[in-house]
Amino acid sequence: MEFVVEPWHWFVLGIVLILSELIIPAFAALWFGIAAIMVCILLWLFPMMGFPTQVITWGILSILCTLLWFKFIKPLSTDKTKAGLSREATIGQVGMVIQTGLEHEQILVRFSLPVLGSDEWHCRCVTPVQVGDRVRVIDILGNDLVVQPHCTS
């Protein structure tokens, strides 16, 4: 008696692999499970696929899913904030002055990416600036950032 692989076998394998990701934090099982469900769909569409073709297709799709994740999806999930990073990571960040004339000769600067966990900072500037000027962080002084006008040249 010959064992015939049905589409539901691949579906169950896919679900088991995806759920095993809860127990084994390797993250590869997720993509192997997705590939198994894709083979299930292909076998349903093309029932004449032989078992060796199914296994080779599953291997290729597993590799492709994993590579696509590393190439396109994982870069989207990287944390672009500078929260928790050192002083050196903060120095050089460029922001825009959104308010001047605050207490203690401070200005309010908004950064496009959060700096040390916040996108707006009270700053001290070494030279007078206007609202809309771009400034660059040159130092950290207590709870304030020290900035200077940013030259684009």
Per-residue pLDDT tens over the stretch 7-54: 899 999 999 988 988 888 777 788 899 999 999 999 999 999 989 999
Q: What is the pTM of this model?
A: 0.51
Instruction: Give the domain CATH number at 130.
Output: 2.40.50.140
69 in a domain, yes or no? yes
| Burial class of residue 136 (count of CB atoms within 10 Å of its CB; 0-12, 13-18, 19+) | middle
CA 126 distance to own-chain centroid: 36
What's the pLDDT at 78? 67
Do 87 and 142 fall into the same domain?
yes
Considering its fold, how many domains does the chain have in total? 2
110, 138: one domain = yes
Q: Are residues 111 and 136 in the same domain?
A: yes
As a whole number, mean pLDDT of residues 112-116 equals 78
In a domain, 121, yes or no: yes
